[in-house]
Structure formats: structure tokens, C-alpha cells
């Protein structure tokens, strides 16, 4: 064993020795070889002086032998300690002499969307009731109610009726909207009311929340719902695809009935007189290239101040302008076709920071500014939402940095925000690593046998 150790130590020196390291021939010995050969094995790697062996005369007494790169290499090997003190676990970087102040920044969190998924699928939300701390969930068959122990129950519409299109609040009362019926709540049950444009067999295609009332539309009619027995229909010259009510007007988007393959149009009617003939809200050529319009958002300040944002299947355009002139397109780099993560948009809402959020069949995306300039935030499946098919979203505009709820085919998800420092964020990450990833100082994978159930982490 002593011979093997000696051979191993000598082999790592820049000297080729016979029988060690697999060499086939020996170079001519020199003074260094002789010194190493004569050194007792017990002294290899010791702190014995290095100048005990005389060197042969030469023109340059300080030059190292030809087959040794430098004397320092030998010394480095000799002085290498047998053991290295281990780093503390977890390792913390030593303090800097002149550190940058650790300022709070906006941090979003939804580390486990499966915990909140609950009842599925969902198609949207309506505002919370007086005793609710979250928006009320709407499923295709009715209103989802949270029971004891987070056991969801469904307050369903009659079993023979078609699935719901959406819901809203009119005159303070929650109402559900289906293709052929409007449902008002009578105790635990829903009472159906026929809903259809006069002298028409058109079905309801879309629902949005208005200013204290509900707006619905068929293929050619706009409906204003002020209550279960107060529905007013207005004929429109468009095949309607999106509607939005602002503080003083109602915007209606769609393709002209006489040119269904042409550019879409956006019209407007006064909010207090929706039955008046609609007028153009944008010039006819201002929405070219966006494709069928799926959502409208008004009065945003991110990524810049815009009067209106039009979201279509093929693109997104922002508009600004002074009354009484029509708003004109604004060049917004973030709205470029290669920057917007569009994937079949389904709806859009404003957010409390002045930006907006778009839901799609492939996740959701939001324009926001976390003190480094406007940017897109993408909410993809399993990380932020339980399912990528996002049908709607809700947030309270009066709560700065308030939570956002997502209604998806896999249930609901909630994204919260908080102001946090890097030190505090690191503490959270270390806690997770120590709890589920630390294996004797190494960071190991953590796989859950049941998605979202941390108790099944392996």
C-alpha cells in the first residue's frame, strides 16, 4: 500500500517515472529526478526544505530543469492540504464592502395553482357579494358556492337548459346568462326568463359587465340588461364580436354585415341612449390587420397612455386622440406582432396599475411595470394557472397591486403581488430548498406524485 501511494503522488508531478502513469520510456535523469528518487517515501508531500539537493553547474543556476515546468509546481503539490474545510450549508455569500441598497420591488406569487383550482371548469367571475372575500365563480352549469372544508357545491340552472355563456350584476343582483335564458336567483334556485331579440331567433353569443348593468349580444343585436325583467335590445349593422361600456359610451366591435370578410369596425353609442344610431368610434381603416376583434380595453396608462386598445386574433393596436376627433393608431413597440404572446384571445380587463390583462386559450398575459419599464408578464399552465385554457379574469381596480383571479378549464387560480426585498425573497427560497430539496448539502430535484400536492414530494 505504501508503494502504491508513493507512485500515485509522484505521478501527478510533471515528471514521467517508469512503472507509474503508464509511460513507455524514461527521459534522461537530472538533478530533480535524483532528488525525488532519493526522498524517503514518508517525506513525500511533507514540509521538508526544497533546497537540500545541489544542482549541477550551468549557465543559469536559477532555471528549472527542462522537464519540470517550474519549481513552484512541485511546491504547490507538496503544500496541498489533505482535507479542505467544507462550506457551511446553506452557503451565504460574504457581505460586500459597498453593497447596493436592497430596495423593495413588486413580486408576483402563485407557487402552486393546483391548491386553488377547486371546481372545474369555469367560464368567468362576477364581483364578490357583501360577505365574500373573492369573486364568485361561474361554471357552465351555474354558480359555484364554497362549502364547509372548502367543499365546492354547484347552484345549478335547470338540467335541460343549455350551458351558460356568462354572468354579471345588474341593479345589484347577480344574473346568469345562457343562449336562450336569463336566470335570476330565488333563494337557492335560479328562475329562468326567456331572453331573445324581438322578432328574432338569435342566441346570445357574449356577455360583459357594464356600468352597473350587463351587456349581451347576439349576431346582430346589442342587449342592455338592467334586471331580470328589464332587457332592451338594439339592432346593429355589425356581426358583433366584442362589446365594452366605458363611463359615457358603449363600444361595439365586429364585421360589417355587408362585408364579413373585410376589416372589422368599432362603433359607439351614448351610454345613456344606447338606442340611438351608432357612430364610428374609429376610422374604417384604423383596425386593419387585427383580425376578428375579441376584446376592447379603454383608458389605460401602460405601456403608454391610450384611449382604447383593440385585441384581435391576429394583432393588437392602441389608439389615442382628442374629442371630437376619432382616436388614431399609436406606434407601441410592445404591441408588435413578434412581441405579443397572442394565442386565441378570449377576454381582456384593466388592472389596478393602469395596464391591462388578456386571457387566451393558451394562458394569459399582462402589461405591467415593475420599476424597470413596461413589460409583458405571461401566465402559463401549471406554473400560474391550472389549465392554459383561460376563459376570464377578475380584479378589484380599487386595490393597488391587488390579486388577480383567473377562470380556466381546470378551475380557478389566484396571483398575488407584494413588495419584497431580495433578502426576504432569498429567505423564502432557502426555506423551500431546505424543506424539499436539500440532500446532504446538494440541491436535488423534487417531483410530486400528485401535481400540486406538496405532501407527495419525492
Length of the chain: 458
Quick count: other Cβ atoms within 10 Å of Cβ 410? Answer: 22
Query: Which 8-state DSSP code applies to residue 385?
Result: B
Q: What is the pLDDT of residue 42?
A: 38
* Measured distance CA(291)–CA(280) in Å, rounded: 18
Which tens digits make up the pLDDT trace of 131-157?
Answer: 898 999 999 999 999 877 668 999 999
According to DSSP, the residues that pair with 311 across neighbouring strands are 295, 316
Quick count: other Cβ atoms within 10 Å of Cβ 393? Answer: 27
Backbone angles phi, psi at 189, to 5 degrees: -110, 165
User: Which residues in the chain show pLDDT less than 50?
Assistant: 1-71, 73-78
| 218: nearest Cα among 230, 234, 206, 229 | 206
Contact, 351 vs 370, CB < 8 A?
Answer: no
pTM of the model: 0.77
The continuous run of DSSP H or E covering 347 comes out as strand 345-350
- Cell reading at 166: 356568462
- Cell reading at 148: 364547509
The burial of 362, by beta-carbon neighbours within 10 Å (0-12 exposed, 13-18 middle, 19 or more buried), is given as middle
Contact, 357 vs 417, CB < 8 A?
Answer: no
* Measured distance CA(251)–CA(279) in Å, rounded: 10
The DSSP-derived string for 284-350 is: TTTTTTS-SEEEEEEEE-SSS-EEEEEEESS-EEEEE--TTSPPEEE--GGGSTTT---SSEEEEEE
According to DSSP, the residues that pair with 392 across neighbouring strands are 407
* Measured distance CA(310)–CA(331) in Å, rounded: 13
Q: What is the pLDDT of residue 321?
A: 87
Q: What is the pLDDT of residue 450?
A: 86
Strand 181-186 and strand 265-270: the pairing is unpaired
Q: What is the pLDDT of residue 28?
A: 41
| 194: nearest Cα among 205, 175, 181 | 181
19: left (phi over 0), alpha (psi -120 to 50) or beta: left
Alpha-helical segments (H) within 16-67? 31-38
* Measured distance CA(297)–CA(319) in Å, rounded: 11
Amino acid at each position: 500500500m505504501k508503494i502504491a501511494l508513493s507512485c500515485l503522488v509522484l505521478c501527478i508531478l510533471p515528471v514521467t517515472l517508469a512503472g507509474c502513469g503508464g509511460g513507455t520510456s524514461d527521459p534522461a535523469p537530472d538533478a530533480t529526478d535524483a532528488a525525488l528518487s532519493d526522498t524517503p517515501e514518508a517525506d513525500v508531500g511533507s514540509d521538508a526544505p526544497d533546497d537540500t539537493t545541489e544542482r549541477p553547474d550551468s549557465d543559469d543556476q536559477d532555471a528549472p530543469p527542462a522537464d519540470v515546468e517550474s519549481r513552484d509546481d512541485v511546491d504547490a503539490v507538496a503544500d496541498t492540504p489533505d482535507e479542505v474545510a467544507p462550506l457551511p450549508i446553506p452557503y451565504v455569500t460574504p457581505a460586500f464592502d459597498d453593497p447596493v441598497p436592497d430596495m423593495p420591488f413588486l413580486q408576483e406569487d402563485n407557487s402552486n395553482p393546483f391548491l386553488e383550482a377547486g371546481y372545474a371548469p369555469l367560464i368567468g367571475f362576477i364581483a364578490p357579494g357583501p360577505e365574500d372575500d373573492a369573486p364568485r365563480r361561474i361554471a357552465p352549469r351555474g354558480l359555484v358556492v364554497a362549502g364547509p372544508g372548502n367543499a365546492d357545491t354547484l347552484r345549478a340552472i335547470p338540467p335541460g337548459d343549455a350551458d351558460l355563456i356568462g354572468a354579471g350584476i345588474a341593479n345589484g343582483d347577480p344574473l346568469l346568462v345562457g343562449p336562450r335564458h336569463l336566470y335570476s336567483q330565488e333563494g337557492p334556485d335560479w328562475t329562468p326568463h326567456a331572453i331573445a331579440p324581438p322578432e328574432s331567433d338569435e342566441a346570445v353569443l357574449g356577455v360583459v359587465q357594464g356600468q352597473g348593468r350587463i351587456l349581451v349580444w347576439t349576431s346582430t343585436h346589442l342587449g342592455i340588461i338592467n334586471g331580470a325583467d328589464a332587457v332592451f335590445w338594439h339592432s346593429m349593422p355589425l356581426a358583433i364580436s366584442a362589446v365594452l361600456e366605458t363611463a359615457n359610451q358603449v363600444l361595439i366591435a365586429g364585421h360589417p354585415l355587408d362585408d364579413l370578410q373585410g376589416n372589422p369596425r368599432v362603433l359607439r353609442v351614448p351610454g345613456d341612449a344606447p338606442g340611438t344610431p351608432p357612430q364610428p368610434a374609429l376610422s374604417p381603416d384604423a383596425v386593419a390587420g387585427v383580425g376578428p376583434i375579441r376584446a376592447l380595453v379603454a383608458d389605460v396608462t401602460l405601456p403608454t397612455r391610450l384611449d382604447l386598445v383593440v385585441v384581435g386574433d391576429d394583432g393588437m393596436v392602441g389608439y389615442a386622440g382628442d374629442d371630437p376627433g376619432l382616436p388614431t393608431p399609436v406606434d407601441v413597440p410592445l404591441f408588435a406582432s413578434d412581441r405579443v404572446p397572442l394565442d386565441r384571445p378570449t377576454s381582456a380587463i384593466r388592472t389596478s396599475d393602469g395596464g391591462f390583462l388578456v386571457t387566451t386559450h393558451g394562458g394569459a398575459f399582462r402589461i405591467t411595470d415593475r420599476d424597470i419599464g413596461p413589460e409583458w408578464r405571461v401566465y402559463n399552465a401549471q406554473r400560474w394557472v391550472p389549465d392554459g385554457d383561460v376563459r376570464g379574469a377578475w380584479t378589484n381596480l380599487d386595490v393597488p397591486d391587488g390579486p388577480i383571479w383567473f377562470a380556466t378549464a381546470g378551475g380557478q387560480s389566484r396571483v398575488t403581488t407584494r413588495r419584497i426585498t431580495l433578502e426576504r425573497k432569498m429567505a423564502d427560497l432557502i426555506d423551500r430548498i431546505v424543506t424539499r430539496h436539500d440532500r446532504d448539502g446538494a440541491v436535488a430535484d423534487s417531483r410530486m406524485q400528485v401535481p400540486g400536492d406538496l405532501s407527495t414530494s419525492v
